[in-house]
Amino acid sequence: MKLSVIGTGYVGLVTGTCFSDLGNDVTCIDVNQAKVDGLKKGIIPIYEPGLSELVLRNYEEGRLKFTTKASEAVPEADVVYIAVGTPQSDTGAADLSAVWKVVEDIAPHLKEDALVVVKSTVPVGTNAKVFSQLKELTGRECNVASNPEFLKEGSAIDDFMYPDRVVCGVRNKKSEDMLRQLHAPLLRTAKPILFMSPESSELTKYAANAMLATKISFINEIANLSEKVGADINDVRVGMGHDQRIGFQFLFPGLGYGGSCFPKDVRALTSLSETLDLEPRIMRAVDDVNVHQRASLVRKIDAYYGGKIAGKTFGIWGLAFKPKTDDIREAPALDLLQYLVEKEAKILVHDPEAMENVQAMFGDKIHKYCENVMDAVEGVDCLAINTEWNEYRTPDFAQLKTKMKEKVIFDGRNLFDLEDMEKTGFSYFSIGRRSLECG
């Protein structure tokens, strides 16, 4: 099929590239000329494992193209995907201004039998509004479907190519048949393609992300309780996870969730409920717990040093909100960095991918951006770990001792075993477990 994908952000670029890799003729459209020029040269604006190679291969083989002009691609497209960003507005609701701009731009160019698919994460009812807007602009009833994405940063290509399920919101058999044909190569392992109303598909996306966010906030509340009562959250987690009704996924304590999806989607669902005069008690609590949890290391460090931070040197491992991404949106590390900057501490940081983004935000307020992980602990009073990159899981503790001024570690991701840490001679503070203080 011939596809046009509007938007080359995380969702649009992954979607367009993967569909081209399946043999479709795909043109990705973006208003940013510099981004489009870069993509043509193989410059990828985001970090996602395997994406750069996939983009380059399909571009060179002619299946994947990039342009800034809808008029160049939309007229020939069988399917037009809307995959622009829907950031959180000041009210907490999704900002759909980019969606409406796309609708205006594509309307003059849509061929009569084209299918418009809303891929962006949008509030319930958006599909119906897109349908109405296109009818007004074109003078005819256009086919409009919804196909929410369920991509995890760091494993987006696998998530696209080997989905748990494909969710499609459709209003007629023609749209269903086109989406079934388009997704057929992804469903050879008997994974289902689920057809439902557009409203149900829109709500499914929010409900799924909100459920996962709820599990994270719940286990973090239990972790905080574990510290107070002398329990070990890892034992509690294992005891819970073996219950098949609960499972282990998203049941890891830490510094909460961040990134572009969970925080925004939980708040958007909250906002939607409020506009319908419903009381979103669980969603508000999930968000409140997460915001509080992100500052866990701040509170632990502040308590340990009695607030006397000025002049001390801190090594920071991990800046991205999760491993395998350079995304720092609502990352817990930002809370810690802001605290240390305000307290006039000296800061050394390391992250395999996110340092450039943090440098754009903090600049020279951070003393050193270290390319080598061990350079970030040279002469520090303590080490704080925010992201569970594999590079941090098995450090040479003997080398750490020689490099660090004081032997203190604050671990926001519970990377190390407590019994092993007792043998190292480090003071060690983690989440939901007893503290180790070595004189």
Residue 248 sits in a domain whose CATH number is 1.10.1040.10
Q: Which helix H or strand E contains 375, and what residues bound it? A: none
Q: Within this chain, do residues 39 and 55 fall inside the same structural domain, yes or no?
A: yes
Looking up residue 417, the CATH number of its domain turns out to be 3.40.50.720
Which of 326, 329, 373, 332 lies closest to 349 in space, CA to CA?
A: 373
Average pLDDT over residues 33-41: 92
Is residue 434 domain-resident? no
Distance CA 108, CA 75 (A): 9
Average pLDDT over residues 373-398: 97
What is the number of structural domains in the chain?
3
Taking only the tens place, the pLDDT of each residue in 278-321 is 999 999 999 999 999 999 999 999 999 999 999 999 999 999 99
Q: Within this chain, do residues 187 and 222 fall inside the same structural domain, yes or no?
A: no
Is residue 439 domain-resident? no
Q: Within this chain, do residues 106 and 43 fall inside the same structural domain, yes or no?
A: yes
Q: Within this chain, do residues 127 and 273 fall inside the same structural domain, yes or no?
A: no
Q: How far apart are the first and last CA of the chain?
A: 67
Average pLDDT over residues 227-251: 96
Extract the tokens encoding 434. 């007893």
Which of 196, 229, 247 is a domain's end point?
196
Is residue 343 domain-resident? yes
Which strands sit side by side in the sheet containing 427-429, from one edge to the other? Answer: 368-369, 346-350, 313-317, 382-385, 408-411, 427-429
Distance CA 195, CA 126 (A): 17
- Tokens 């995959």 — which residue? 83
Which of 45, 262, 309 lies closest to 151 in space, CA to CA?
A: 262
Q: Within this chain, do residues 162 and 236 fall inside the same structural domain, yes or no?
A: no
Do residues 98 and 274 lie in contact, with contact meaning Cβ atoms separated by under 8 Å? no
193-196 and 408-411 as β-strands: parallel, antiparallel, unpaired? unpaired
Report the C-alpha dihedral over residues 271, 277, 281, 282, rounded to 10 degrees. Answer: -60
Which residues neighbour 27 within 8 Å (Cβ) at sequence distance 6 or greater?
Answer: 3, 4, 5, 16, 64, 65, 66, 67, 72, 73, 77
- Please give the distance of CA 221 from its chain centroid, rounded to a whole number: 22
Q: Within this chain, do residues 217 and 308 fall inside the same structural domain, yes or no?
A: no
Which pLDDT score, from 0 to 100, does residue 41 have?
87
Vertex 375: Cα angle to 373 and 378 (nearest 5) = 130
CA Rg value for the chain: 24
Check whether 98 has a pLDDT greater than 80: yes
Average pLDDT over residues 79-105: 93
Check if 438 is active-site. Answer: no
Is residue 369 domain-resident? yes
Which pLDDT score, from 0 to 100, does residue 439 have?
65
Q: Within this chain, do residues 129 and 170 fall inside the same structural domain, yes or no?
A: yes
Number of helices and strands in the chain (H, E):
17, 14
> With 0-12 CB in 10 A as exposed, 13-18 as middle and 19+ as buried, what is 164?
exposed
Q: Is residue 322 part of an annotated ligand binding site?
A: yes
Distance CA 301, CA 384 (A): 9
Q: Within this chain, do residues 39 and 106 fall inside the same structural domain, yes or no?
A: yes
3-class DSSP state for residue 413? coil
Average pLDDT over residues 7-17: 95
Which pLDDT score, from 0 to 100, does residue 88 have?
87
Q: Is the torsion defined by CA of 139, 142, 146, 149 positive or negative? A: negative
Which pLDDT score, from 0 to 100, does residue 345 have?
97
Q: Is residue 329 part of an annotated ligand binding site?
A: yes
How many beta carbons lie within 10 A of that of residue 115, not counting itself?
Answer: 25
Q: Within this chain, do residues 236 and 308 fall inside the same structural domain, yes or no?
A: no
Is residue 404 domain-resident? yes
Average pLDDT over residues 382-389: 98
Check whether 248 has a pLDDT greater than 90: yes
Q: Is residue 314 part of an annotated ligand binding site?
A: no
Domain residues for the domain of 374 are 295-429
Is residue 438 domain-resident? no
What DSSP character marks residue 152? P
Residues of the chain with pLDDT > 70, as a percent, come to: 100
Catalytic residue among 18, 142, 168, 261: 261
Which pLDDT score, from 0 to 100, does residue 260 have?
85
Confidence of residue 403 (pLDDT cuts 50, 70, 90): very high
pTM of the entire predicted model: 0.92
Which of 196, 216, 236 is a domain's end point?
196
Cβ density class 5-30: b for 16+ within 10 Å, e for less: bbbbbbbbbbbbbbbbbbebbbbbbb
Is residue 201 domain-resident? no
> For the chain, what is the largest distance between any 2 Cα atoms, rounded to a whole number of angstroms?
78
Which pLDDT score, from 0 to 100, does residue 189 have?
82
Q: Which helix H or strand E contains 13, and what residues bound it? A: helix 10-21
Q: Is residue 313 part of an annotated ligand binding site?
A: no
Q: Is residue 119 part of an annotated ligand binding site?
A: no
Confidence of residue 92 (pLDDT cuts 50, 70, 90): confident
Which of 196, 229, 257 is a domain's end point?
196
Q: Within this chain, do residues 59 and 138 fall inside the same structural domain, yes or no?
A: yes
Distance CA 83, CA 15 (A): 9
Is residue 435 domain-resident? no
Do residues 97 and 171 lie in contact, with contact meaning Cβ atoms separated by under 8 Å? no
Q: Within this chain, do residues 7 and 111 fall inside the same structural domain, yes or no?
A: yes
Q: Is residue 284 part of an annotated ligand binding site?
A: no
Check whether 355 has a pLDDT greater than 90: yes
Distance CA 41, CA 35 (A): 10
Q: Within this chain, do residues 167 and 306 fall inside the same structural domain, yes or no?
A: no
Which of 160, 150, 169, 16 lies closest to 82 in space, CA to CA?
A: 16
